[in-house]
Chains A and B, each alone.
Chain A
Amino acid sequence: MAILLVADHSNSALGASTGKALTAAKAIGGDVHVLIAGHAAQAAAEAASKLDGVAKVLVADAPHLANGLAEEIAATVVSLAGNYDTIIAPATASGKNVLPRVAALLDVMQISDIIKVVSPDTFERPIYAGNAIQTVQSTEAKKVITVRTAAFAAASEGGSAPIESVSAAPAVGISSFVGAELTKSDRPELTAAKIVISGGRGMGNGENFKTYIEPIATRLGAAMGASRAAVDAGFVPNDLQVGQTGKVVAPELYVAVGISGAIQHLAGMKDSKVIVAINKDAEAPIFQVADYGLVADLFQALPELDAELGKAGL
């Protein structure tokens, strides 16, 4: 039977995480149908139809699906579930919100945050902040799965899947969308960026993120991240948090500045290809996972780094 991939989208755009979950879905095998449950989401549907390996794009359009409310999206997913033996979504804020609701409505135990497809019913997933890896086999007739997107490459473009409309489930009507305060940024999205530069408690305040980290991020075309300590201290907004309970990233280059390297932070970035740590404490645990460590005061090192990168033509 086929796989239903519940897309992460904003109606006007398809989230990059959807292409990564698609790679996991293809590894499981079978026709992959991508569901865009939204309102006036033609642009997201068209983007999904171009992903390589999509057999069909299903569009459920209704005003009550416009804002990604879990109660509404889950009802529509469940109404379509009969045709599928696997329902999958990226483990984004949206996927993590919606899929367990779908799973419980189907009386299925969900497999969260898979990092590897071993076989169509067996998966690897991290537990204890990635300090152990579990191999789990599902005995369920239907499987409900979320995908850790940092563990899968994005599917390429080049497809031209047909777009079909399907009916949305009737409105559940027990929740409503009040508003959103989304961070505006011209930088690449944290979980999709090739380079991430993150600051920790050592940054001292939010102003220093702007003064010291932003110019380098701009120069490198990098996303900015932060440790939990920096977010808790109010230096930067929550959506920058990298870690066990924040975002999990695996860029080509991860630069950790003024971050000591708590277990829960390492859980969010230790699969990065190259890790650079800049910290004045030579004993900081971050150096145990760093490919390149620089023991230095960040307020001196960062302006130097900015200048050196400039000299190197970046």
Chain B
Amino acid sequence: MKILVAVKRVVDYAVKIRVKADGSGIELANVKMSMNPFDEIAVEEAVRIKEKDPATEVVAVSIGTTKSQETLRTALAIGADRAILVETADDTPVEPLAVAKLLRAVVEQEKPDLVVLGKQAIDDDSNQTGQMLAALLGWAQGTFASKVVPEGGAVNVTREVDGGLETVKLTLPAIVTTDLRLNEPRYPSLPNIMKAKKKPLDVKKPADYGVDVAQRLKVLKTTEPPVRKAGVKVADVAELVRRLKTEAGVI
């Protein structure tokens, strides 16, 4: 089996982001960057499938500036075999539709049986790329996965949905996007981090795939959300209930 895993370099989940005062975006200078947490889960899942079936090859792919090489090295340290960076010229975000088109081109060259992606990136919170890639390829999609079981020419995917869980069976090749409970990604060991430095990493350009990455949505401005003021501390439960009843009027 061959698995392609897509990873994105984003602001680390623990960073409290700052909105630029001129409304032009988020302050990204000198901010800690990491692999999107859902993508880490995606890499881990692919590597676990490989550990069960050693004939599996795991290829990590990222779309971003040259700095995304670091993110790919992390994927290689977790256990991916090789990596492909589709390098963009600057920090202008590439929209999910363009990312999906680039990934389609990579899929057409690599011919994986399964593509695993994070369900959303924690920067733009779009939650689109996996579904779009499935659409462009005409493949089945198992989004928000909490369990992935390959089985012959198909994969059973248990999905986190609004009312609980549901399981779908997808004909391979197929797309899976990961949710939080799928697995707990490992911390790469030092020897694996060293080994990752020697694994192959190809660098391509969007133009190599003939994909236009121009933005379709115009971001007019980026602002701070309305700030919620801290309220009062109440002394005890009786005061809490009294205030909820008489002051807030919500019970």
Chain A contact residues, CB within 8 Å of chain B: 67, 69-71, 74, 92-94, 96-105, 107-113, 122, 126-140, 174-183, 191, 195, 220, 228, 231-232, 237-239, 244-245, 247, 252-253, 263-264, 270, 273-276, 282, 287-296, 301, 304-305, 308-309, 312, 314
Could you say which of A175, A195, A287 has the most chain B C-beta atoms within 10 Å of its C-beta? A175
A sample of 19 more A-B contacts (CB under 8 A), given A100-B128, A110-B96, A305-B237, is A96-B127, A100-B129, A100-B131, A102-B135, A127-B222, A132-B17, A140-B216, A174-B171, A177-B168, A179-B166, A180-B165, A195-B251, A245-B180, A252-B250, A253-B251, A263-B16, A291-B248, A292-B234, A308-B237
Q: Which of B68-76, B105-113, B185-193, B238-246 contacts A (4 or more CB under 8 A)?
A: B238-246
Pairwise interchain contact A239-B135, C-beta atoms closer than 8 A: no
Q: Is B49 an interface residue (CB 8 A)?
A: no
CB distance from B14 to the nearest CB of A (A): 8
Return the contact of B223 from the options A107, A113, A133, A137 (Cβ within 8 A).
Answer: A133
- Chain B: CB-nearest residue to A124: B223
Number of interface residues of B (CB under 8 A): 82
Chain B contact residues, CB within 8 Å of chain A: 11, 13, 16-17, 19, 26, 38, 95-97, 100, 119-120, 122-136, 138-144, 146, 156, 159-171, 174, 179-181, 215-225, 228, 230-234, 236-238, 240-241, 243-245, 248, 250-251
Could you say which of A98, A137, A182, A291 has the most chain B C-beta atoms within 10 Å of its C-beta? A291
Question: How many A-B pairs fall under 8 Å by CB?
Answer: 267
How would you classify the secondary structure of chain B's contact residues: helix, strand, loop or mixed? mixed
Contacts of B156 in A (CB 8 A): 178
Return the contact of A228 from the options B100, B165, B180, B224 (Cβ within 8 A).
Answer: B180
Return the contact of B16 from the options A104, A122, A131, A291 (Cβ within 8 A).
Answer: A131
Q: Lowest 7 A-B CB distances belong to which pairs?
A: A291-B231, A100-B131, A104-B132, A104-B135, A109-B216, A100-B128, A180-B166
Return the contact of B135 from the options A101, A122, A292 (Cβ within 8 A).
Answer: A101
How far is A301 from B241 in the complex, measured between Cα atoms in Å? 12
